[in-house]
Amino acid sequence: MAEAWDFLRTDKMPHIWCPGCGHGVMMNALLRTMAKLDVNKDDICVVSGIGCASRLPGYLDFNTLHTTHGRALAFATGIKLANPRLKVIVVSGDGDATAIGGNHLIHAARRNMDITLICMNNNIYGMTNGQYSPMTPTSMLATTAPYGNLERNFDLCKLVEGCGANYVARATAAHPRNISQYIEYALTHKGFQFVEVMTQCPTYYGRRNKLGGPVEMINSLKQNTILNTAAAKLPPEKLEGKIQIGEFVKKEELTYLDRFDAMVDRITGGVKP
Amino acid sequence: MSPEKKGQMPVEINQKWCKACGLCYALCPKKVLEGDEWGKAFVAHPEDCIKCQTCEIMCPDLAVKVVALRKATKEDE
């Protein structure tokens, strides 16, 4: 059986992420899923934009592409249309996917493009010294919000659900087995598959907000989460401040490529050129 | 499952990749792992390991490997 390390570019390790970075936990879970599915390296293409999270494809031994800030989904759409046999995975941070690439995110989900998007949400722009992002919760501190963030953050899963994605799930770095489970589902199904992974940034987010080191942040992630099936049975006042994890949407609607193939058949009358 | 040979560690830690974040030994349910003076993990109580793989799965640097589990499954095959 394949091991997680078989899919790693070991000459590029150790990676550049800080000690205790949640992106590493997520990469570990992703590689474990790849090993479990025993994928062929040539059938996978991993695309990323710019940011801490977007360094991930550099360590993976698949077809990989490091693109411009926020445009990973646009590049991935092109790759998928050019070579539909490839399994295209986009890894992206919260700043990359929701701020600069927010437009690409909603439209990729609306088209139901056959792409798996894994958004690593660490609540901050880590690579550029900790500015607040659209995912920084209200009143939390950041370099550009020294008196607390005034803005509200996205509920990313609800946003992508509203855009029409086929699969929407959320896990945290404290639940790596759930990450693996959700990514496995995402990789084996068609349509726009979205997995949000809440990760800890001990260096900028944790230090500025005095949340402690990686261990304390993982423990608080563990304590502040609740599975969505359990949350459905609880009154709303008990869910305040809790992060809901789990699978929110599971649909098998027609994808962009399904509709494209149907259109080609309709125009050519089923005759292959 | 055969018992581990004397002196063989159930968990291997790649010291070159370990960044001393402390997640593995903080989350180990049996406290098999401990941190050295630099905070890097080492196997302190190998006999207590229950091979739950928490350390391996939680390691952000992929530096931890539960080797005992792999040897056992190979022998079973």
Which among A23, A28, A215 has the least Cβ separation from residue B62? Answer: A28
Domains in chain B: ranges and CATH: 11-76 (3.30.70.20)
pLDDT of B5 strictly over 70: no
What is the per-residue pLDDT for A237? 85
Structural domain that includes position A156: 4-268
What is the per-residue pLDDT for B72? 65
Domain membership flag for residue A273: no
What is the per-residue pLDDT for A236? 85
Q: Is A123 within 8 Å of A140 (Cβ atoms)?
A: yes
Q: How far apart are CA A19 and CA A215, in angstroms?
A: 11
Which among B22, B57, B61 has the least Cβ separation from residue A215? Answer: B22
Check CB contact under 8 Å for B21 and A29.
no
Q: What is the mean pLDDT of residues B22-38?
A: 91
Residue with tokens 């139901």: A112
pLDDT of A239 strictly over 90: no
Residue A2: pLDDT band (50, 70, 90) is confident
What pTM value is reported for the model?
A: 0.91
Residue in chain A nearest B63 by alpha carbon: A14
Residue A271: pLDDT band (50, 70, 90) is confident
Domain membership flag for residue A129: yes
Domain membership flag for residue A211: yes
Least confident of A10-14, A246-250, B3-7: B3-7
What is the per-residue pLDDT for A113? 93
Any A CB within 8 A of B26 CB: yes
Residue B76: pLDDT band (50, 70, 90) is low
So what's the ipTM on this one?
Answer: 0.85
Q: How far apart are CA A183 and CA A195, in angstroms?
A: 7
Q: How far apart are CA A204 and CA A216, in angstroms?
A: 14
Q: What is the mean pLDDT of residues A90-109?
A: 92
Residue B62: pLDDT band (50, 70, 90) is very high
Q: What is the mean pLDDT of residues A248-266?
A: 92
Check CB contact under 8 Å for B59 and A20.
no
Show residues of chain B in contact with A213, CB under 8 Å: 21-22
Any A CB within 8 A of B57 CB: yes
Residue in chain B nearest A174 by alpha carbon: B58
Q: Is A221 within 8 Å of A198 (Cβ atoms)?
A: yes
Overall number of domains in chain A? 1
Domain membership flag for residue A167: yes
Q: How far apart are CA A195 and CA A119, in angstroms?
A: 6
Domain membership flag for residue A130: yes
Give A113-136 pLDDT, tens digit per residue: 999 999 999 999 988 999 999 999
Any A CB within 8 A of B55 CB: no
Query: Which amino acid is located at B10 in the chain?
Result: P
Check CB contact under 8 Å for B23 and A215.
yes
What is the per-residue pLDDT for B3? 46
Residue A26: pLDDT band (50, 70, 90) is very high
Show residues of chain B in contact with A14, CB under 8 Å: 16-17, 19, 61, 63
Check CB contact under 8 Å for A24 and B59.
yes
Residue B68: pLDDT band (50, 70, 90) is confident
Show residues of chain A in contact with B57, CB under 8 Å: 25, 28-29, 32, 176-177
What is the per-residue pLDDT for B7? 56
What is the per-residue pLDDT for A161? 94
Q: Which of A8-12's residues contact partners 24+ apart within 8 Å by CB, and which partners?
A: A8/A59, A8/A60, A8/A61, A8/B62, A9/A58, A9/A59, A9/A60, A9/A61, A12/A58, A12/A59
Read off the CATH number of the domain in which A31 is found. Answer: 3.40.50.970
Cis amide leading into A14 (omega within 30): yes
Check CB contact under 8 Å for A15 and B61.
yes
Q: What is the mean pLDDT of residues A173-188?
A: 93
| Distances A96 to A117, A127, A258 between C-alpha atoms, Å | 12, 11, 28
Task: Give ∠ CA A171-A29-A61 in degrees, rounded to 5.
Answer: 135
Give A143-166 pLDDT, tens digit per residue: 999 999 999 999 999 999 999 999
Residue A1: pLDDT band (50, 70, 90) is confident
